[in-house]
Amino acid sequence: MKYTVVLTAKYPPIARDILAGAFDIVEHPTEQARSEDDMITILAEADAAITLLSDPLTRLVLSSNPNLRMVANYAVGTNNVDVEAARDLGITVTNTPGVLTDATADLTMALILAITRRVVEGDDEVRTSGRCEWEPMKLLGIALQGKRLGIIGLGRIGSAVAERARAFGMEVIGARRGEKIDEILTTCDVISLHAPLTAETRHMIDAAALARMKPGAFLVNTARGPLVDEDALCDAVESGHLRGAALDVYEFEPGVSPRLMRLKNVVLAPHIGSATDEARIAMARIAATDVLRFFNGQKPLNAVT
């Protein structure tokens, strides 16, 4: 009898290629905002599953599927998984670290450049007017050379962003999770978030933190949306205290705040930090390989539990 592996989305074909023959594979179309009931139904016959960051793997979901022995989360984060429940139930959880570091760091720099040089505003002007008119005071941004970048979360991605920023002539300071961030808030021209989402980091950038930020600074978030209180962020941008923000993740994904969408000096990307051919294929390879290793009696290479 073959074990059944459920793919909760349309992943790069390498995942199916690795699992084909050894497992029965059930593949579901990619969907956002699944409920617990949806997940219980989807995983009903699963011995293992490759899951999305948006799939809620709560204690109820995990305990409602007694055949489930292994979850390979197609992400570096696991905040969608009740890891404690998985441990209690003897379910192995893995993730896909490392391979999306460069892709996300590159996107972070792209967002920093886009917001500080007002690239999206310029694109909109050209498309709307059909003209390119040069003026001495049009769409002035800031130079990155000599500016201070504060990185909150000096893991793989935060460190890779620091390396890139220094190449642009920026001064970089950073804080690891749990360290004080007051110096970053009060002295940095650009702040980039790279911390994981935990109970302690949720809304780490709230109204009080935003008020302490240097007037005219920029905030960039390519980590997890709920690190930022988006209403407070909108207040800070609308008031002019912040000059702008650039986001790839949102507090209430897949929804995006209408207030954010009305702000011209906020750049909005659709959670594409790891969206390169190379990174997404590597993530699928890692997830599927760990499923294969688990059922071959080998230790997964990226076990979280």
Model pLDDT, residue 233: 98
Q: Are residues 88 and 113 in the same domain?
A: no
Strand residues in the chain grouped as ranges (E):
3-7, 23-27, 48-51, 70-73, 92-94, 148-152, 171-175, 190-193, 217-221, 242-247, 266-268
Active site includes 84? no
The number of distinct structural domains making up the chain is 2
Q: Are residues 181 and 236 in the same domain?
A: yes
Range of the domain at 256: 101-268
Contacts by 151-156 with C-beta closer than 8 Å and gap 24+? Answer: 151/175, 151/184, 151/191, 151/192, 151/194, 152/181, 152/184, 152/191, 152/192, 152/193, 152/194, 152/195, 152/204, 153/177, 153/193, 153/194, 153/195, 153/196, 153/223, 154/194, 155/194, 156/97, 156/98, 156/101
Model pLDDT, residue 274: 96
| Beta partners for residue 244, in sequence order | 218
Model pLDDT, residue 162: 98
For 238, the token pair is 């609308």
Model pLDDT, residue 179: 77
Contact 257, 251 (CB under 8 A): yes
Q: Are residues 119 and 91 in the same domain?
A: no
CATH of the domain at 35: 3.40.50.720
Contacts by 207-212 with C-beta closer than 8 Å and gap 24+? Answer: 207/232, 207/235, 207/236, 209/181, 209/185, 210/235, 210/236, 210/241, 210/242, 211/236, 211/241, 212/182, 212/185, 212/186
Among 171, 253, 285, 293, the one annotated catalytic: 253
Contact 273, 222 (CB under 8 A): yes
Active site includes 133? no
**pTM (2 decimals)?**
0.93
Q: Are residues 140 and 71 in the same domain?
A: no
Model pLDDT, residue 178: 66
Contact 291, 5 (CB under 8 A): yes
| Helix (H) or strand (E) segment spanning residue 293 | helix 277-295
Q: Are residues 224 and 247 in the same domain?
A: yes
Which parts of the chain have pLDDT scores under 70?
Answer: 177-178
- Domain presence at residue 301: no
Q: Are residues 228 and 165 in the same domain?
A: yes
Active site includes 200? no
Q: Are residues 182 and 116 in the same domain?
A: yes
Among 224, 243, 251, 280, the one annotated catalytic: 224
Contact 100, 277 (CB under 8 A): no
Contact 37, 58 (CB under 8 A): no
Q: Are residues 140 and 217 in the same domain?
A: yes
